[in-house]
C-alpha cells in the first residue's frame, strides 16, 4: 500500500455501488482505494493519507456504527469524515458525518467530501489555535452553533418543480424566503444571514449562474453555499455550474425529498463552519493580533506554524504556506507615495481574513506582505487558494485621494510545502522568495 496515494477509502463488500463511484472519483482527482472489510479498511487508514471514508451500508455488515467508530479511532488524532450511502438503521446516533441516498454521482460525492474534509480540518485547527493562544496567556472560547431553523433563500420564478422543492425544505424544518429576481435576492442577502441559497435555472439559467458568480465576488457572501436546481433539458453543464460558484446541482429527476436533504446538509455544514470561524475570529480581541488588520502578527504566526507542522506530521496531512506581496504597479506606487496604500492595508487585511478558508491562518508579515498557513493542502492547491483571494481583492477599488482615480491591488504570490516541522521556517522563506521573484519578473 505504501506506493498508493489514495485520498478516499471506500468500504464495500462488492463493486455494485463502489465500482462506478470509485471510477468517477478517480477521474475527478480523488484517488480511491476500496476495502472489502473492517481489517483491510483499518490497514489502509494506518498506512495512507486518507482524507475521508465512504461506507456502503448495504454491505457494511451488522454493526456499521461499530465500524465507523473503529475507523475514526485508527485515524486519531486526525479527524476522519465518514460519508454513508444508504438508509439509516434505527433512530439512535450512527456516527456518520453525512448520509446520502444511493445512487451517489461522483460529482456530488466530491462536493460533499470537500466540505466534510474542510470541516474536520477546521475543528483540528481550532484545537491547535487554542493551544497557541493559551501559551500566550489567552483563552479561546469554544464555538457556539446557532440552533435556530436553517434559513434558505430560494431564488427564481415560481415554477411547479421549484415550489415543490421549497415545500419539501419547509417540511424539513427550514425557513424559506422567496425572491423572484436577482435584485430582490441580493437585497435579502445583504439584509439578513442565510445558511444556503437555492437557484432555479428555469428558462434563464445564465441569470442563476450570474447570481452565484456575484455571491463569489462578495467577501461576505463568498462562503454561502448555493444549489442550482436545473430543468431536465437545461443546457448548463455541471462543470460550468461549479466553475461559476455553484456548490451542488440537482434536477427534477431527483426526488424533492432527497434534494431538500442535500440543501439541509449544505446549510448544516455552512453553519458549523460559521460557528468555528466566529470562534476563531474572537482571537482578534486577544490583544495578540496585528492591530491594523486583525491578522496574526509575524511572531505569533511563526510560533503557530511550528505547531501546525508538528500536527501535520502526527495527522499525516500536508501543510503549505502562501505569501502574498502587494505587487508594484504605477497606480500602487502613486498611492504608496501619497499614503493611500497604507490607509488601504487594514481593509486589505480584513478582506484576506474573511476570504481565507475557515481552517487557514492568515498573518501580516510586513507593511504590504501577508502570509497564509494552509493545513491539509498541497502546494498546487495552496497556490490556487492564494490566487482566488487575490482575484477577489483585485475587484475592489481603493481610494487614492480627491480628484484621483482609485487604485487596484494585485499580489505577487509565492507558495511552498512544509516538509517537516524543522523546515517550517525555511518553507516560509522559500514562499516569500518566490513572491519576490514573481515581482521582479
> Is residue 304 within 8 Å of 373, Cβ to Cβ?
yes
Q: Among 335, 284, 324, 350, which residue's Cα sits nearest to residue 138?
A: 284
Question: Where residue 293 falls among pLDDT bands split at 50, 70, 90?
Answer: very high
Backbone angles phi, psi at 331, to 5 degrees: -70, -30
Q: What are phi and psi of 168, to 5 degrees?
A: -65, -40
Report how far Cα 160 is from the mean position of its chain's Cα atoms.
33
The contacts found for 345-351 with CB under 8 angstroms, 24 or more apart, are: 345/292, 345/293, 346/292, 346/293, 347/396, 347/398, 348/293, 348/393, 348/398, 348/409, 349/290, 349/292, 349/293, 349/294, 349/295, 350/293, 350/294, 351/219, 351/392, 351/393, 351/396
CATH code, 151-279:
3.40.50.2300
Q: What is the model's pLDDT at position 404? A: 87
Query: Cis omega (within 30 of 0) on the bond before 197?
Result: no
Stretch among 285-289, 333-337, 423-427 having the lowest mean pLDDT: 285-289
Share of the chain above pLDDT 70, in %: 93
What's the pLDDT at 236? 66
* pLDDT, greater one: 238 or 391: 391
CA angle 181, 186, 189 (to 5 degrees): 125
Could you tell me the fold of the domain covering 8-104?
Rossmann fold (3.40.50)
Q: What is the mean pLDDT of the chain?
A: 87
Side-by-side strand order, sheet with 196-200 = 175-179, 151-155, 196-200, 226-229, 248-250
Separation in Å, CA 323 to CA 261, 383, 417: 39, 9, 12
267 CB-contact burial (10 Å; exposed 0-12 / middle 13-18 / buried 19+): buried
Which superfamily does CATH assign the domain made up of 289-440 to? Reverse transcriptase/Diguanylate cyclase domain (3.30.70.270)
Q: Compute how many other C-beta atoms are within 10 angstroms of the C-beta atom of residue 345.
A: 19
Q: What is the pLDDT of residue 105?
A: 75
Yes or no: say if 6 and 43 are a contact pair by the CB < 8 Å rule. no
Mean pLDDT of 353-375: 93
* Extents of the domains making up the chain: 8-104, 151-279, 289-440
What's the CA gap between 298 and 364, in Å, rounded?
Answer: 6
Q: What's the CA gap between 13 and 294, in Å, rounded?
A: 51
Task: Tell me the mean pLDDT in the region 6-14.
Answer: 88
- What does the pLDDT read at residue 278? 86
Interior/surface letters 138-162, b for 16+ CB within 10 angstroms, e for the rest: eebeebeeeeeebbbbbbbeebebb
Q: What is the pLDDT of residues 314-326, one digit of tens each?
A: 998 899 999 999 9
Beta-carbon contacts of residue 345 (< 8 Å; ≥ 6 apart):
292, 293, 367, 368
Q: What is the rounded CA–CA span in Å between residue 42 and residue 48? A: 10
What pTM, to 2 d.p., does this model score? 0.79
Provide the pLDDT for residue 193: 93
- What is the mean predicted confidence (pLDDT) over 131-138? 93
Taking only Cα atoms into account, the Rg of the chain, rounded to an integer number of angstroms, comes to 23
118 contacts 98 by C-beta, under 8 angstroms? no
Could you check whether 8-104 and 151-279 share the same CATH topology?
Answer: yes
Would you say residue 3 has pLDDT above 60? Answer: no
Amino acid at each position: 500500500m505504501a506506493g498508493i496515494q489514495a485520498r478516499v477509502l471506500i468500504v464495500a463488500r462488492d463493486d455494485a455501488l463502489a465500482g462506478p463511484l470509485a471510477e468517477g472519483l478517480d477521474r475527478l482527482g480523488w484517488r480511491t482505494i476500496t476495502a472489502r472489510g473492517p481489517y483491510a479498511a483499518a490497514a489502509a487508514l494506518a498506512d495512507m493519507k486518507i482524507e475521508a471514508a465512504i461506507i456502503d451500508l448495504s454491505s457494511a455488515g451488522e454493526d456499521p456504527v461499530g465500524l465507523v467508530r473503529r475507523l475514526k479511532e485508527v485515524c486519531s488524532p486526525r479527524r476522519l469524515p465518514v460519508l454513508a450511502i444508504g438508509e439509516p438503521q434505527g433512530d439512535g446516533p450512527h456516527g456518520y458525518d453525512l448520509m446520502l441516498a444511493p445512487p451517489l454521482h461522483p460529482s456530488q460525492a466530491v462536493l460533499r467530501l470537500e466540505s466534510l474534509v474542510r470541516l474536520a480540518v477546521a475543528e483540528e485547527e481550532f484545537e491547535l489555535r487554542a493551544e497557541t493562544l493559551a501559551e500566550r496567556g489567552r483563552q479561546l472560547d469554544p464555538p457556539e452553533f446557532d440552533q435556530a431553523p436553517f434559513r434558505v433563500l430560494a431564488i427564481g420564478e415560481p415554477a411547479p418543480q421549484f415550489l415543490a422543492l421549497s415545500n419539501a425544505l419547509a417540511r424539513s424544518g427550514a425557513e424559506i424566503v422567496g425572491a423572484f429576481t436577482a435584485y430582490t435576492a441580493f437585497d435579502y442577502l445583504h439584509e439578513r444571514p442565510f445558511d444556503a441559497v437555492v437557484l432555479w435555472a428555469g428558462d434563464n439559467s445564465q441569470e442563476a449562474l450570474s447570481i452565484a458568480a456575484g455571491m463569489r465576488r462578495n467577501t461576505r457572501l463568498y462562503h454561502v453555499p448555493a444549489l442550482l436546481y436545473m430543468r431536465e433539458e437545461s443546457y448548463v453543464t455541471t462543470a460550468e455550474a461549479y466553475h461559476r460558484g455553484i456548490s451542488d446541482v440537482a434536477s427534477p429527476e431527483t426526488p424533492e425529498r432527497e434534494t431538500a436533504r442535500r440543501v439541509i446538509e449544505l446549510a448544516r455544514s455552512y453553519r458549523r463552519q460559521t460557528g468555528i470561524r466566529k470562534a476563531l475570529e474572537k482571537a482578534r480581541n486577544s490583544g495578540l493580533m496585528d492591530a491594523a488588520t486583525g491578522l496574526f502578527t509575524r511572531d505569533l504566526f511563526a510560533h503557530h506554524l511550528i505547531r501546525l507542522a508538528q500536527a501535520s506530521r502526527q495527522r499525516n496531512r500536508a501543510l503549505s504556506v502562501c505569501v502574498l506581496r502587494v505587487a508594484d504597479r504605477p497606480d500602487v506606487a502613486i498611492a504608496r507615495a501619497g499614503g493611500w496604500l497604507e490607509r488601504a492595508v487594514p481593509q486589505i487585511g480584513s478582506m484576506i481574513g474573511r476570504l481565507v478558508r475557515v481552517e487557514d491562518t492568515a498573518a501580516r508579515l510586513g507593511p504590504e506582505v501577508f502570509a497564509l498557513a494552509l493545513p491539509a493542502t498541497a502546494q498546487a492547491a495552496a497556490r490556487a487558494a492564494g490566487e482566488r483571494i487575490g482575484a477577489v481583492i483585485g475587484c475592489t477599488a481603493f481610494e487614492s485621494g480627491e480628484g484621483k482615480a482609485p487604485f487596484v491591488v494585485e499580489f505577487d504570490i509565492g507558495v511552498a510545502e512544509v516538509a517537516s516541522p524543522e523546515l517550517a521556517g525555511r518553507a516560509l522563506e522559500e514562499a516569500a522568495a518566490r513572491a519576490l521573484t514573481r515581482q521582479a519578473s
